[in-house]
Structure 1
Amino acid sequence: MKRTKVKIQIQPAGLQTDDPTIMLSDSLVKRWKLTAQSSLQLRFGSAKHEVKVTPLSQAGVLRIPDSIAAKWGLVHGIPLCLHYKSSTRSLHIGPLIGVMVSRVHAGSPERPFGAVTSFCREMDDACRLYGAAVYFVTPDEVNGHGETVRGWHYAGKWIKRAFPLPHIIYNRLTSRKLENRANVQQFIRHAKTQNQAVLFNEKYLNKTEVFDALRKESSLQVYLPESHLLHNVQQLKMMCTKYNTVFLKPITGSLGKGIIRIKRKIDGGFICQFANRSGASKLTFGNSGQLANAFIKKIKRQRYQIQQGLSLISVGGRPVDFRALVQLNDVGQWSITSIVARTAGGHHFVSNLARGGSLSTVREALARSNSTSASGGALKLRRAALAIAKGIESQITGHFAELGIDLALDTQGKVWLLEVNSKPSKEDNTALSTSRAIRPSVKKVVQYSRYAAKF
């Protein structure tokens, strides 16, 4: 798709005529057969204003009156995509992306969004690169009415101001509690209704939902370890009898929190390891009855997915798994942005960085595993990640534009799905380079946003 990009210039108040007038490059005026002083509607997000058009000899420029730019949060010099709809005589600039973030640290002007501030700066840089605009908004600032929302944008420093409702809502809220707040859901409904806003990564996925959905696709069943929502201790005993190792995973957990590994000993007893920040605490039980009694209360307090344990390839005796970041690209197709290997830290059995895991390239991890089963592993992982992303799209209600897909390769060379994350941590997926360049994952978000907003 060929796009028209223009540089926004702000017309100072003293140079404006009585009627709001925009100045547009003469070549674009001719392309769209606009006559001098013709009237049309200028639109940016949900905002619109009747204006007259005057040709401008300078190429690639749209000059907008200061009075309009100030209301819309437009900044002098930014590039934006532009298209004209002759059927409605409307000129659209954008796309305008609203990113929902969890909180703002008012006392920290340099890092107002905490650990994701650098990601927010990258989003702003990527928008300038591809001709889009972005602002960041918290749950405390949104509601289900009105044509504007107060958000933050970067203009040499972080500034808070009013913006129109966006074309795109990118949900980066970091808890289910925040995204389920009544005012957040009202804002989303309002933006969709009033401005046909496109929302993506709209909700967290839970582990039961993912495995139940993917089982419906016969071609994906090969990647699925046996996995069930844990209802009672009888089910726990059955899985522990069937497999030497099982995992209990909180269905709404993330970053490896709360995962329990249960291993059956040769003498019929069990060793339970509980993931925590310092490593793993351990309890031993003499038989399945003692194990069941210990878990009765825990199962009632917390909903777990119980999953077949796998014999994974390892590096230096530490298990390795793989995080694939799969995103919709500039033509709306699923594509692999990156796959990294994650090796568990010492005294840990989970590989999350938050639990002491370390990153490496897939090639390096496969080579260091010294496993003959690693042959062809990189291609197998890519195929599985793409297939699983398409399965999520077809089987789960909701719009997801990026997925963190955790995969494993066992000692027989078989690929398994561990879990799918609809809010992949930007830190977990950091490129192995130390460059300050815009990450490919951030570029893809903006490229897909242009596609989804039809710019």
Structure 2
Amino acid sequence: MITRNERRNAQTVGIMVCPKAGEPPFAEKDYYRRLTGIGRKLGLDVFVFFPHRLDWDRNRVVGYAYAAASKRWEKGFFPFPDAVYDRCFYSNPGVYAAYREPIRRLMASSGTRFLGYGLKGKWNVHQMMMRDEALKPHVPETELLEHKDDIVRWLDEKGELFLKPHGGSQGKGVLHLAETPDGFIAKGRTYRNETVRLQFRSKSRMLAWIGQFTSGRKYLIQRYLTLTTEGGDAFDIRALVQKNRKGCWELTGMAVRQGAPGSVTSNLHGGGHAEETVPFLRDRYGPTQAAAIAATAHDIALRVPEVLEQYHGRLAELGVDLGIDAEGKVWVLEANSKPGRSAFASLSDERVRLASIRNPMLYAKFMLDSRSERLGRL
């Protein structure tokens, strides 16, 4: 292991990740490599580190830095970062529990600032959005699943529902449940991202299977919205909103995500693909309504982070998932504080792709310079 000396007066940004098998032991390597290059141009030393490898006695962390000369990641010791870009994805509650305390301690450290704080879960986000009169009409009816009788009640009243885990991403663990003349049908994806489609003749068997499927996890029941193309493929709009070089929210870009045939979600990890937003909307709704939908989606996407910050605290970026029904109404489906960028990777707009990567470093530079100016005035 190499020992890395801190450059005098250098501002440091640590990308905090959960370890993963391999070398180097983390995902999104290409994204972090590009962040490192952008940071270097801004005068920032950028490295990747792990929340369970914090040395409080020496005020240093174990991590990796990308060496442009050798084109490889080099392991070493680094000072506690001035700013933290949180990209920790917790595979299960046990992993989160293991890292919770060191992360809290780092957040409380006077020398380190987090660009943003990760959102706690879908139910928390839903409750915050429902407190805003502008967003409330665009949020689907949702409640916390507390008992199997809740499912029975929803099916009796509405005939179908959508089950989604309180914590989770990439469309894993979601179910569309509907009552049919022959019983019940469940369609969705397992936590291994495998497609599931089952029919049940009896209510008791259906409820028993759902109990096993949810396996003690916290779940939400949500009104099922028909958000599909004419061919029945699920789609939504991923809007990426980020703070920029001035610390202000901006809409970086939007992309349509269309799910694989038969999928109940549009997530790309489930076999979907991305399309340009405006041409897609024009083909489906016509030019006039498409323009109105795009304008509404733009306004809602920028409203969501403003509302969430009022109740949650600082955020740096959000992936806001928006559904568009057959009538053209825009619905807020989810907000993710650690968004991916795969929806923009295959699109033609290089400006959006570059901005989606550049903005976290521009905001980090703004935050660190603002703090230096405040300290200089003391």
Q: TM-score range by the shorter chain?
A: 0.7 to 0.9
TM alignment of 1:96-111, pairs within 5 A: 96-103=12-19, 108=23
**Contact 2:53/2:61 (<8 A) preserved:** yes
**2: CA distance, partners of 1:278 / 1:443:** 30
CA distance in 1, matches of 2:270, 2:124: 25
Residues 427 and 220 (structure 1 numbering): CA distance in 2 closer, same or farther, change over 3 Å?
same
Give the structure with the larger helix fraction: 2
**Match of residue 264, structure 1, among 154, 172, 179:** 179
Q: Does 1:193 align with 2:105?
A: no
How far does the alpha carbon of each residue in 1:404-435 deviate from its partner, in whole angstroms, 9 at most, with x for none?
Answer: 11110111111111111111123345352497
Alignment check: 8 A CA contact 1:279 1:347 kept: no
Q: In the alignment, what sits opposite 1:181?
A: 98
The residue identity in structure 2 corresponding to 1:142 is: L
Q: Cα gap change, 1:435/1:205 in structure 2, threshold over 3 Å: closer, same or farther? A: same
Superposed displacement of residue 100, structure 1: 1.0
2:376 corresponds in structure 1 to: none
Point out the structure with max Rg over C-alpha. Answer: 1
In 1, Cα distance between the equivalents of 2:172 and 2:193? Answer: 12
How far the C-alpha of 1:104 sits from its partner, in A, is: 6.3
Alignment equivalent of 2:242, drawn from 327, 343, 362: 327
The aligned counterpart of 1:142 is 54
State the match for 1:117 in structure 2: 29
Structure 2 vs 1, CA of residues 340 and 178 (structure 1 numbering), >3 Å: closer, same or farther? Answer: same
Q: Is the 8 A contact 1:97 1:167 kept in 2?
A: yes
State whether residues 103 and 139 of structure 1, in contact with CA within 8 Å, keep that contact through their aligned partners in structure 2. no
Q: Indicate how the Cα distance of structure 1 residues 282 and 373 shifts in structure 2: closer, same or farther if over 3 A, else same.
A: farther
SS of 1:181's equivalent in the other structure is: helix
CA contact (8 A) 1:170 1:200 kept: yes
Aligned counterparts, 1:39-50, within 5 A = none
Structure 1 counterpart SS, 2:345:
coil
Mapped partners of 1:329, 1:289: distance in 2:
52
Q: CA deviation at 1:257?
A: 0.7
Amino acid at match of 1:270: F
1:192 Cα deviation (Å)?
4.2
Structure 2 residue matching 1:439: 3-state secondary structure? helix
Which aligned pairs between 1:275-354 and structure 2 lie closer than 5 A?
275-276=189-190, 280-286=195-201, 291-296=206-211, 298=213, 301-314=216-229, 316-354=231-269
User: What is the RMSD computed on CA atoms of the aligned residues?
Assistant: 2.9
2:15 counterpart letter in structure 1: V
What is the CA-CA distance between 1:314 and the residue it aligns to? 1.3
Q: In the TM superposition, what is the alpha-carbon distance from 1:199 to its structure 2 partner?
A: 1.0
Query: What's 1:405 paired with?
Result: 320
Residue deviations 1:422-452 (CA, integer Å, cap 9, x gap):
1112334535249799721221001100111
Instruction: Check whether the contact 1:246–1:263 (CA below 8 A) recurs between aligned residues.
Output: yes
In structure 2, what is the equivalent of residue 80 of structure 1?
none
The one-character-per-residue Cα deviations of 1:36-60 (angstroms, maximum 9, x if unpaired) are: xxxxxxxxxxxxxxxxxxxxxxxxx
TM-score of the superposed pair, with normalisation by structure 2: 0.85
Q: Specify the alignment match of 1:95 in structure 2.
A: 11
Q: TM-score, normalised by structure 1?
A: 0.72
Verify: 1:415 aligned to 2:330, yes or no.
Answer: yes
For the residue of structure 2 that corresponds to 1:318, the secondary structure is: coil
Contact conserved, 2:319 with 2:337, CA < 8 A, in 1?
Answer: yes
| 2:63 pairs with 1:151 | yes
Distance 1:135 1:169, change over 3 A: same
Residue pair 1:205, 1:421 contacting (<8 A) in 2 also: no
Query: Residue type of the partner of 1:159?
Result: E
Distance change in 2, residues 1:161/1:188 (3 Å):
farther
Given that 1:325 and 1:402 are in contact with CA atoms closer than 8 Å, whether structure 2 keeps it comes out as: yes
SS of equivalent residue, structure 1 residue 166: coil
Partners in 2 of 1:190 and 1:389 — Cα distance?
24
Q: Distance in 2 between matches of 1:279 and 1:405?
A: 24
Change (3 A) 1:153 1:71: closer
The DSSP-based 3-state class of the residue aligned with 1:146 is: coil
Superposed displacement of residue 303, structure 1: 1.9
Report the AA paired with residue 62 of structure 2.
Answer: R
Shift of 1:162: 2.6
Q: Secondary structure at the match of 2:342?
A: coil
Q: Is the 8 A contact 1:403 1:423 kept in 2?
A: yes
SS of 1:212's partner is helix
User: How many Å separate the matches in 2 of 1:336 and 1:385?
Assistant: 7
Find the residue that maps to 2:256 and give its secondary structure. Answer: strand
5+ long unaligned stretches in structure 1: 1-69, 75-91
Query: Which of residues 151, 167, 175 in structure 2 aligns to 1:252?
Result: 167
Amino acid at match of 1:388: V
User: C-alpha displacement at 1:369, in angstroms?
Assistant: 2.4
Mapped partners of 2:73, 2:53: distance in 1: 16
Q: Is 1:133 aligned with 2:45?
A: yes
